[in-house]
Structure 1
Amino acid sequence: MFSINVNFVDSRTMRRFNKKYRNLDKPTTVLTFYYGEDQVVKDTCLGEVFICLAQAKKQNLTVTKLIIHGFSNLLSQIPAAKLKST
């Protein structure tokens, strides 16, 4: 069993994260951080999804759609062998 944290942030915070981790000096709707393969086999937090509601509103996107997008990004980073063994 593992968890995934979902965080809602403002445009300023999202812009800062996007600049730091993607070298893009603008806010985005979703950023996902995977904590690594070791987390998959432990009962711990697998990663985090950050969602900017202001950017979602500007792009007419629902929170549900962004959560699904963030989870998909996170799961795509986990090797298939790790998913099968859990």
Structure 2
Amino acid sequence: MIDLERETQETTQVTKGKNGRTFQTYETKYVDTGELVGKREETTTYYATGELKKIKQKRFDANGNLLKERNIKYFKDGRQPEIEME
């Protein structure tokens, strides 16, 4: 649980994969101690045309336990994105 009285800072690491896929890791830590508060990972994939295809998000607590996972699927035909919770 995050202590709202303490200041936190988020760092981001981005790694490029094959076919334009990107992997992003966001870590939130307390500024005063460097203690990890939580982490979020995102994997982004694209259609061959370069348009956004899917964003897979995972949220973890300070101990690395998976709290939430969801996929945001995008369509080339103009439909609104769909969110799939896992």
- Tell me, yes or no, whether TM beats 0.5: no
Structure possessing the higher relative contact order (Cα contacts under 8 Å, 6 or more residues apart):
1
**Structure richer in strand, relative to its length:** 2
Higher Cα radius of gyration: 2
TM-score, normalising length from structure 2? 0.28
